[in-house]
Structure 1
Amino acid sequence: MNRIDQTFKRLKREGKKGLITYISAGDPNLAATARLAKEFERVGVDLIELGVPFSDPLADGIVNQLAAQRALEAGVTPRGVLDTISKLRQEGLAIPIVLYIYYNVIHKWGLEPFAADAIKAGVDGILPLDLPPEEKADQFVMNSALHTIRLIAPTTPEERIARICKRAKGFIYYVSREGVTGMQTTTSDTIGSRVALIRKHTKLPIAVGFGISDGAQARSVADQADAAVVGSAIVTRIGTLGDSEQMIKEVTGFVESLVKAVKA
């Protein structure tokens, strides 16, 4: 069974909500990414989204764009990201890993080789940001052992929600507001109703993200879904503190506070 399925099955059995954390792979370097992944698992994060740095990240806000830029300037490549994941798996990391990836990266690699290499490295799923579910390439990804995580937006009509849900595996990622990634001071008041609408079309778990900046927001969001996704608030701290022991300590402490809030 895929690690993503195992994790959500465990959460349901325990009556708990999940916390998913996003970081840009290679920001500030791949060694720091590996350390953070281990620390996140240690403090109780349920799933890690690793952003594969790309030169034109249209779906990302300035925080994640800068993180990707720092990673690219550090010489990080998609192959390097997979090698890092492979090493982490060899060292015993068991937490599910989803690649937040632009399709252009997959296309350049080659669909079949990418899927095979990702699975071999220990990747559990991909969130292809710019690959419509109707594309032929998507059919190949659907048929692989990788779970394909789908995004649903506040403006997605119900007819399209139904189509997206049919082609999703692992969980549904509901984007709680329009626009690009980034922290917000408030969360949308329509989350509950939109999650209920999505549940009409799928039995998959639903995670909600885009804009969560603290434990209170994470708890509020998780209470209305199956998991909360926190990204920019973490990436901001990484960018501010850089490659340092203080960064590892402070980011891990912040993430642990999110875990405690969501699990309370």
Structure 2
Amino acid sequence: MEAIEVRGLRKTYPGHEAVRGIDLSVTRGEVFALLGPNGAGKTTTVEILEGHRRRSGGDVTVLGEDPGTAGRAWRARIGIVLQDTDDAADLTVAEMVKHVAGFYPDPRAAAEVIDLVGLTEKAKSKIRALSGGQRRRVDVALGIVGRPELLFLDEPTTGFDPAARRQFWDLIRALAAEGTTILLTTHYLEEAEALADRLAVLAGGLIVAEGTPATLGGRANSGAKVSWREGGVAKTEQVADPTELIRHLVKIDADLTTLTITRPTLEDVYLNLIGAGR
């Protein structure tokens, strides 16, 4: 059932160990987000999983094969949206999508893919005439045109405006509903929270936490901060469960219009995990 299985993955460069022995499993049909600051080892890990970079040690299986030795048939089963791409600027959007579709045994129709990424009105435009965000949509179109079983998305919404980002989220949800396994790297924590079934945080080449967006880093058990005003005085308490405190405040006729209950956000947890919140 595992689309990706990693045990003891290492990648060493002269004088630097970028990935320091990580274990990772991604179940088929899952949306999995890999988070971490720049230099944490995310892109190196993803490139190894894609078969684009050799590992220094460990065992890796992707869709049942070792990506370091897998052949063309295996590559036709994966889709990749790279962080940085060089495009054929003089082709139109439709020409580029149709060209890439020809490399796959059962591609989606080019017009369907172009519509999915919101570029129907730009189908006949040359890629060099597109904005940065529109070019990024072309990258996404090329990643999904082959109906991949497993889709790698490396910072896919960089350059998207908020409306385009939400449209992309809908596309990812639709692909996941079809059974596509998705591995996502992103710096947008709200994106990870909106899309991921599970996520892991990489820091210094190690996975420092793994879980669902709600439970990562003990988030579900971290309690709540309750703030209110009582007799004109601001008060705050940190509690595991605010229910009893709220009942008490009702009994003493505290000013409930000032009541706020806050829990750690995913960003709070993430910053603590990578050390930036300390």
TM-score of the aligned structures, taking structure 1 as reference length: 0.32
Structure number having the greater strand percentage: 2
From the two aligned structures, give the one with the greater helix fraction.
1
TM-score with structure 2 setting the length? 0.31
If asked which structure has higher relative contact order (CA below 8 Å, sep 6+), I would say 1
